[in-house]
Structure 1
Amino acid sequence: MNSYYTPPGGLPDQKTLHTGRAVFTEAYAVIPKGVFSDIVTSLLPNWANTKCWIIARPLTGFSETFSQYVMEVGPGGGSDAPEPESGAEGVIFVTGGLLILTLAGTEHKLETGGYAYLPAGQAWTLHNRGSEPGRFHWVRKLYEPAPGIPAPEAFVSSDQAVAPIAMPDTNNAWATTRFVDPNDMRHDMHVNIVTFQPGGLIPFEETHIMEHGLYVLEGKAVYKLNKDWVEVEAGDFMWLRAYCPQACYAGGPGRFRYLLYKDVNRHPRLRGPGAFGR
């Protein structure tokens, strides 16, 4: 049975010690679950009875390729015009409640573990018609077309519908739930779920071009971020810039799972923001 951490909101009382684990560096950031209080939520245009925590956004010295929101939609809330950027693609991953996603006039029920890919230019709506809050992650990225390759289509899936694929020679201790075929060059981002069984690890320091956003859905681990080993647990978010060394050890007692964003399948930009050319 899959379970996913969702922020409870509210505000710590005056006797609570500060979280003590928030870190922002030139190579990585950690936003621990204790930071997710109502005082740092945002409201969004055209969203009714909805609040969100914006945990990544394009910003000098921070995220370059994506934004990520932790959304909470109250009963009767939602939006008929959720995406303001015509060139933005998105992924929705539901961590609690029941939401109704409408694509091209067809309604899709997104329950806990539900997943949807929303291509750039796709009209969609999202509403909570139930009696409990609907909670989900919303990852947004400007789609980068590639010459001769068509844009991807919308699809709806779920964590329960996709079998995790074990990494080679790990005896199933490290596996990835891939919602998109890695060889599908239409996609320029992947939003997957990574699972470590107790004792599972990344046994080397990954150092690569891909930027990462990692939201811990379940369990705890120690994560190597650049030069530091950092304890993380369900509800924490990590951002890793390109080439930030990373490794992981999931010490248990339960499994460790996180929602992972990465940019893929495109050449590095040589002109424009983040590049040297004009």
Structure 2
Amino acid sequence: MTYALPPAGLPSQSDTLTGTSIFTEAYAFMPAGVMRDIVTSALPHWTNSRAWIIARPLSGFAETFSQYIMEVSAGGGSDRPEDNTNAEAVLFVVEGTLVLRNSMGTHTLTEGGYAYLPAGEGWTLHNTSAAKATFHWVRKRYEPVDGIPRPEAFVTNDKDHAPISMPDTDGKWATTRFVEPTDLRHDMHVNIVTFQPGGLIPFEETHVMEHGLYVIEGTAEYLLNRDWVSVGPGDFMWLRAFCPQACRATGDGPFRYLLYKDVNRHAKLPW
């Protein structure tokens, strides 16, 4: 398995402008080429680390989650990564090795490592190796429900989960699920979607869930609202609720993306 990374650095002054970004009322498209050093942020209580903040709640757009790509240099990390006691998190490692400590003990996360961290539970994360490590950090305000217990922390790895084929697709469209869809303790899913060459979403999905889609491998033509956009490794798509979407995988290998969506809760009402 391969996992795309931000290119970082800066393009050469002799390079022509490529990888056009798109921001509309329904979606945003951020090609890998825009994820450079100049757009990173430092975060409180993190050392030797930087973040590409690729999604954050925006009123009238996508409002439920934030998503960071975190790069942690050797010796870096945090003893106090999250000060918001309402924020749950998923961590997904795409490069290097990280040491996570939480209520379950100490865990070594390597490439493909996945951790769910409940709201209000303390945790730490450090890079004790000599090489940098990179991971996705998806954050959401947890929505408790009376009578339903809160979910527990867990740690796993992409390689330990077989993708589940979507019905009637002959294995061309599959989803790696880290949480059972019927588990109502969880109010978000962060999965991996895989299309084999020629696989497609053969209808325009239009639904209440917001999405963050980060391409970790392969290429496709992706429908975003009214526009077909060519996407590839390291590109990010950010969709508000009800933005139509569809997909046609291209290339000779799998097309895979990390997918966020909010699930299993009533729509919020203004009264």
The TM-score range, normalised by the shorter chain, is over 0.9
1: CA distance between counterparts of 2:20 and 2:60? 20
Assess if the C-alpha contact under 8 Å between 2:104 and 2:153 holds in 1.
no
Partner of 1:94: 93
CA distance in 2: counterparts of 1:221 and 1:232, whole angstroms: 5
Contact (CA 8 Å) 2:19, 2:32: kept in 1 or not? no
Provide Cα deviations, 1:221-247, integer angstroms capped at 9, x if missing partner. 000011110000000000111111100
**1:147 equivalent in structure 2:** 146
CA drift of 1:205 comes to 0.4
The 1-side partners of 2:226 and 2:209 are apart by 18
| Cα separation, 2, equivalents of 1:62 and 1:21 | 20
Work out whether 1:127 is the aligned partner of 2:119.
no
Indicate the larger mover: 149-158 or 12-21: 12-21
1:105: Cα distance to partner? 6.6
User: Cα 1:251–1:105, aligned 2, differ >3 Å: closer, same or farther?
Assistant: closer
Partner of 1:259: 258
Residue 84 of structure 1: how far off its partner (Å): 1.7
Structural RMSD (CA): 0.9
Matched to 2:228, the amino acid is W
Counterpart in 2 of 1:67? 66
Paired letter, 1:88:
A
Shift of 1:19: 2.6
Tell me how far apart the structure 2 counterparts of residues 108 and 137 of structure 1 sit (CA, whole Å).
17
Q: CA deviation at 1:252?
A: 1.7
Measured after TM superposition, the shift of residue 104 of structure 1 is 2.2
TM-score by length of 1: 0.96
Deviation, structure 1 residue 17: 1.6
SS of residue in 1 equivalent to 2:92: strand
Give the equivalent residue in structure 2 for 1:117.
116
Distance across 2 between alignment mates of 1:133 and 1:200 = 34
Deviations 1:170-206 (A, max 9, x none): 0100000000000000000000000000000000000
| Aligned equivalents of 1:60, 1:108: Cα separation in 2 | 37
After superposition, what is the alpha-carbon deviation per residue over 1:215-274, rounded to whole angstroms, capped at 9, x for unaligned?
000001000011110000000000111111100000222110000000000000003xxx
Using the alignment, how far apart are the partners of 1:20 and 1:81 within structure 2?
36
Matches of 1:248 and 1:261 in 2, distance apart?
Answer: 16
Q: What is residue 166 of structure 1 aligned with on the other side?
A: 165
Whether the 8 Å contact between 1:197 and 1:252 is mirrored in structure 2 is no
Contact 2:62 2:241 in 1 (8 A): no
d(CA) in 1 for partners of 2:221 and 2:54? 21
Give the match for residue 201 of structure 1. Answer: 200
Note if 1:3 corresponds to 2:7. Answer: no
For the residues of structure 1 that align with 2:11 and 2:231, how far apart are their CA atoms? 20
- CA distance in structure 1 between the partners assigned to 2:84 and 2:61 by the alignment: 21
Q: Is the 8 A contact 1:7 1:235 kept in 2?
A: yes
Equivalent position amino acid for 1:150 in 2: P
Residue 156 (structure 1) shift: 0.1
Structure 1: which 5+ runs fail to align? 272-276
> Are the structure 2 counterparts of residues 164 and 105 from structure 1 closer, same or farther at C-alpha, using a change threshold of 3 Å?
closer
Q: Which residue of 2 aligns with 1:42?
A: 41
Aligned residues: 271
Tell me the secondary structure at the aligned position of residue 34 of structure 1.
Answer: helix
Q: Tell me the CA shift for residue 67 of structure 1.
A: 0.1
How many Å separate the matches in 1 of 2:90 and 2:40? 20
User: What amino acid is aligned across from residue 129 of structure 1 in structure 2?
Assistant: T
Distance 2:177 2:29 in 1: 24
Preserved contact between residue 213 and residue 261 of structure 1 (Cα < 8 Å): yes
The runs of at least 4 aligned residues of structure 1 exceeding 6 Å deviation read none
Q: How much does 1:87 deviate?
A: 0.3
Write the distance in 2 (CA, Å) between the matches of 1:19 and 1:59: 27
TM-score, normalised to structure 2, is 0.98
SS of 1:39's partner is helix
The answer for the alignment partner of 1:177 in structure 2 is: 176
Amino acid at match of 2:27: Y
